[in-house]
Amino acid sequence: MKKNNKKGFVLAETIAVSVIVMTSLVIIYTQFTYLSKSYSRTFTYNSVNNLYLTNNIKEFINNDGLNNLITGLNDKNYIDITSCSTEYFTEYIYCETLMDNLGVKQVIFTKANLDDLKTNMDGLSEKMKQFINYINYKNTNNYRIIVEFDDESYATLLVG
């Protein structure tokens, strides 16, 4: 006797193929979103251009106000040096011109070890906080500048 009722097998086969296709689409989607985030991050975090601009600020700090900044940082997590305060810099007019020409929105001076800064980031924008959490660092006794540019891109370099 021959069976003509094979509807159950077709349904099971359809479900199996659907599961395989859906799993493949989910894997492709997760990989694509990861690549998209990484691609976006390369243009906003530590791009070559921003590192070059940040190096100009670093050189200025090394030549003018590094000792004053280190002294001022003793009881703080960070110092916002965007305003080029005369408390830290003797060449404050050059500093202001440098910040304007580089398109700097905010510059902070902090310790290279970001553990203290990560516990208290009051006064910083949410995107700046995200960048600080992104920074990989090793325990070191140096100092660091973190720069936010007007186009909402970021860079960081060790100082000292």
Q: Give me the half-sphere count of Cα atoms (radius 13 Å) on the Cβ side of residue 13.
A: 5
Contact residues for 79 (Cβ-Cβ < 8 A; gap 6+): 69, 72, 73, 88, 108, 109, 110
C-alpha dihedral (155, 45, 116, 160), degrees to nearest 10: -30
Is residue 7 predicted with pLDDT exceeding 70?
no
Q: What is the pLDDT of residues 122-134, one digit of tens each?
A: 888 899 999 998 8
Decide: helix, strand or coil at residue 64. coil
pLDDT of residue 12: 82
40-44, 76-80, 96-100: which range is least confident on average? Answer: 40-44
pLDDT of residue 3: 56
Contact 112, 132 (CB under 8 A): no
Task: For residues 30-41, give the mean pLDDT.
Answer: 82
pLDDT of residue 38: 75
pLDDT of residue 73: 86
Longest Cα–Cα distance in the chain: 102
Task: For residues 19-31, give the mean pLDDT.
Answer: 92
Q: What is the pLDDT of residues 142-153, one digit of tens each?
A: 899 999 999 989
Averaged pLDDT of the chain: 87
- Give the Cα separation of 63 and 66 in Å (integer): 7
